[in-house]
Amino acid sequence: MTSVNIKLGSIGTYWTTACKQAVSDLNSLFRRKGIEVALAVDGAGPTISVRTDAAIAGTAVHGRTSAETDGAGKLLRADVRLPVKLTINTPKGIRDAGTGMAEVIAAHEFVHALGHEPHNSHLMTQTFNKVMGDRAADDKLQAGAVAMPPLQLSDESVDMLKGIWS
Ligand SMILES: [Zn+2]
């Protein structure tokens, strides 16, 4: 089992909550699927640094990740950038998106940082659609027929991660 450190910059309570939820839910997903990597905020191991970037639009449903890996595809260090503010269009106008939606975006970028490059399905889709909840807490991101949270990895993604982290 390899430990990977998540270092949260000054990203505010909204993103801090979302990133911690992503760490917790990814870890249980990895455990369940036999992927031998564990994330920890302020933990040990190679570091994924997380910060917000005003150059990424709040209407976007993605961040930006650059990762440096060794010859075997294992993480050396990575840099994850997230939109400062995440918004959703509703019949009553634009409001802040719920942290569940933010969790999905953070988790997507963390999985990229762990060496998963392609966009194939579920959490690692190319295109998410925003699905407005009755309350912000129920906002979701939809990939094909799958609405998250809860986070889901496709079998292809699980196999790819197992190939790197075994
Ligand atoms: Zn992506």
Q: What is the pLDDT of residue 74?
A: 85
pLDDT (average), residues 154-165: 96
Q: What is the pLDDT of residue 71?
A: 85
CA of 105 relative to ligand 1 center, distance in Å: 9
Q: Domain of 62: which CATH number? A: 3.40.390
Q: What is the pLDDT of residue 23?
A: 98
- Give the chain's domain count: 1
In degrees and rounded to multiples of 5, residue 39 shows phi and psi of -90, 145
CA of 122 relative to ligand 1 center, distance in Å: 11
Q: Which of 27, 45, 43 has its CA nearest to residue 35?
A: 27
| Distance, CA of 20 to CA of 151 (rounded, Å) | 13
CA of 66 relative to ligand 1 center, distance in Å: 11
CA of 108 relative to ligand 1 center, distance in Å: 6
CA of 153 relative to ligand 1 center, distance in Å: 13
Q: Which of 49, 74, 76, 75 has its CA nearest to residue 64?
A: 49
CA of 6 relative to ligand 1 center, distance in Å: 18
| Distance, CA of 130 to CA of 92 (rounded, Å) | 16
Q: What is the pLDDT of residue 58?
A: 83
At 131, which amino acid appears? Answer: V
Express each pLDDT in 64-120 by its tens digit: 999 999 887 789 999 999 999 999 999 999 999 999 999 999 999 999 999 999 999
* DSSP H or E stretch at residue 146: strand 146-148
CA of 45 relative to ligand 1 center, distance in Å: 23
Express each pLDDT in 22-63 by its tens digit: 999 999 999 999 999 999 999 999 999 999 999 999 888 899
Bridge-based pairing state of the strands 37-41 and 2-8: parallel
Cα distance between the two ends of the chain? 8
Please report, rounded to a whole number, the percentage of residues in the chain having pLDDT higher than 90: 91
Q: Could you tell me the residue range of the domain that residue 50 belongs to?
A: 2-164
CA of 21 relative to ligand 1 center, distance in Å: 19
